[in-house]
Structure 1
Amino acid sequence: MKRVNLVFGTVYGSAQYVAETLGNELNRLGYAMRLWQPEELDGFLPTDNDYLLLVCSTTGQGDLPENILPWFYKVQAAGLYLPHLRYAVVGLGDSSYDNFCGAGIQLDELFAELGAIRVLPLLKIDAMETMEPELEALPWLTQWHQAATADAGN
């Protein structure tokens, strides 16, 4: 089974809690998983050999949080081509803003540009509709697991 790298960007901690919840579930499902803390990301570039799950809140006018922004720019500038990397993104945002889940959209677009394969469409979690985003992310992870399992069988 491929390793899962779980990366998050957060301002107030919600995205981190969602990532930790997903990480616990991944462990329960038997995945080898690494939850990357923002201060560890400087030494991490994704590879084709692993899965990548990204959980990110949105700040400002659709911006990435400061704790993931340097990594985003590093990946963007690295000239990577990742045609075998399987990835998925969970975006947290507030639909009362024009750029709802803008950070998640930016991450999704970046990895699509790098040639990576999207396992599931971007999950957008709206703070206007839920106080517990991890409860929306868990059923999504079940779908991700089913898709990843089916993909591994091919």
Structure 2
Amino acid sequence: MSKHFEIIVGTMLGAAEYVADAIAEKLNERGYTHTIHAEPDLANINKASTWIVCTSTHGAGELPDNIQPFARQLENADLQAVNAYVIGLGDTSYDTFCFGAKEMEKHILNGGGKLINDALYIDVLEHPIPEDAAVEWFDEKLANA
């Protein structure tokens, strides 16, 4: 049975969505199945599957609007079955660089979940096409899994 991934997206302007799509392509190439959640709802996400949380940061360090309800669902959830990768997109010219991703990490860990690797924080100033950096990182993680 192939491994299934739950790709959870937090995006305002679409960059995190592009990253999620590129990660999904890589999973397809390797024969894995996945579900992309553009409007994530904990009730529809399998905690036993591997999660890939891919989110940007918006405004003064907030999560994008589409993932805020999901983040609230995680606050009191039992996430002990969760193993997750976190990919954050941000801009290092802001002192709230990747705060959205860091908030998601905190929710997962507080609920008893585990991060498979340290999160990847992509600086869009350094990587104007963030999906390239994300796929390169994730492909290496998959190869070593």
User: TM-score scaled to structure 1, two decimals?
Assistant: 0.86
Residue by residue, what CA displacement relative to the aligned partner does 1:48-103 show, whole Å, maximum 9, x if unpaired?
x2100010010111110001101111122xx3323332101000000010110000
| Residue identity opposite 1:103 in structure 2 | G
Q: Which runs of 4+ in 1 moved over 4 A?
A: none
Matched residue, 1:32:
33
Output the CA distance in 1 between the equivalents of 2:99 and 2:93. 12
> Does the residue aligned with 1:87 lie in a helix, a strand or coil?
strand
Structure 1, unaligned runs of 5 or more: 150-154
SS at match of 2:85: strand
Out of 104, 108, 120, which is 2:101 matched to?
A: 104
The count of aligned residue pairs is 144
Cα distance in structure 2, aligned partners of 1:41 and 1:80: 12
RMSD: 1.5
Q: CA 1:12–1:36 in structure 2 vs 1: closer, same or farther (change >3 Å)?
A: same
Which secondary structure state, in structure 2, belongs to the residue aligned with residue 141 of structure 1?
helix
Where 1:68 maps in the other structure, the secondary structure is helix
Identity fraction in percent = 28
Aligned residue in 1 for 2:141: 144
1:17-96 aligned within 5 A: 17-38=18-39, 41=41, 43-47=43-47, 49-76=48-75, 79-96=76-93
Q: TM-score, normalised by structure 2?
A: 0.91
